[in-house]
Amino acid sequence: VEASGAAVTYRVPGAVAIPADGAPHKVAVARFELTPELDYVAAPKLVEAAYRRASLTNDSPYTLLPGPANLFAGEEFIGTTQLELVAPQGEVELYLGADDRVKVERELKRREVDKRLIGDRRRLRYGYEIALENRLPAEAQITLHDQIPVSRHEDIKVKLESADPQPTERTELNLLDWELTLAPGERRVVRFDFTVEHPRDMGLLGLP
């Protein structure tokens, strides 16, 4: 594995005594504080959990080199992460683990086969509900990710029929994103329905 990048020089404040024992020793170069923006990210199609995210800007004069970093919540050690190179004014996102005080549940509420054939085509209808509950004593900003199927065949049509609330963003790969704000103790339900239409004699894989 090879990696290259700009040369970086750090000046250690004051004199530092390093034992001449041939072993590596750590030296503090600088201490500074960065103020993060905290929110939550959930993708309940993959796992029913909300992960705390810290987004911050490196407003120090130092380039942060890539490597392992320890994560703490207050004085509690919560894990490690791998930092990429972050230049001054660069942005970084850190994930601080799942928080069980923000509940996320995803449930299939409807699966129907339309008995009325359109020519030789068959239509399936699906309805999902995602329930979110904020058990924190403070407001929670949540980015919710989900997805409806993506057709890889011109004879298979997928359509988002309804969504409440409407997603903040929908991509060409049918990824759905919602930006939600939940007050302390608030419970919110996101609903969406979609249809899959295909030739009657064509089998489908990957659908519930």
Span(s) in the chain for CATH 2.60.40: 102-199
pLDDT at site 26: 85
Exposure of 181 in the CB half-sphere (CA atoms within 13 A): 2
pLDDT at site 59: 94
pLDDT at site 135: 98
Say what the alpha-carbon torsion angle 150, 151, 152, 153 is, to the nearest 10 degrees.
180
Whole-angstrom distance, CA of residue 132 vs CA of residue 123? 30
pLDDT at site 29: 85
Mean pLDDT over all residues of the chain?
Answer: 91
pLDDT at site 2: 43
pTM: 0.84
39: which 2 tokens? 């929110």
Q: What is the DSSP string of 56-117?
A: EE--SSSPBPSEEEEEEETTEEEEEEEEPPB-TT-EEEEEEEE-TTEEEEEEEEEEEEEEEE
Report whether 180 contacts 142 (CB < 8 A).
yes
Those residues whose C-beta lies under 8 Å from the C-beta of residue 100, and which sit 6 or more positions away, are: 49
pLDDT at site 206: 76
pLDDT at site 3: 46
Task: Identify the segments of the chain with pLDDT beneath 70.
Answer: 1-6, 117-118
Give, in order, the Cα–Cα distances in Å from 177 to each of 11, 119, 165, 167, 187. Answer: 44, 35, 11, 5, 18
Fold of 102-199: Immunoglobulin-like (2.60.40)
Report whether 189 contacts 127 (CB < 8 A).
no
pLDDT at site 117: 65
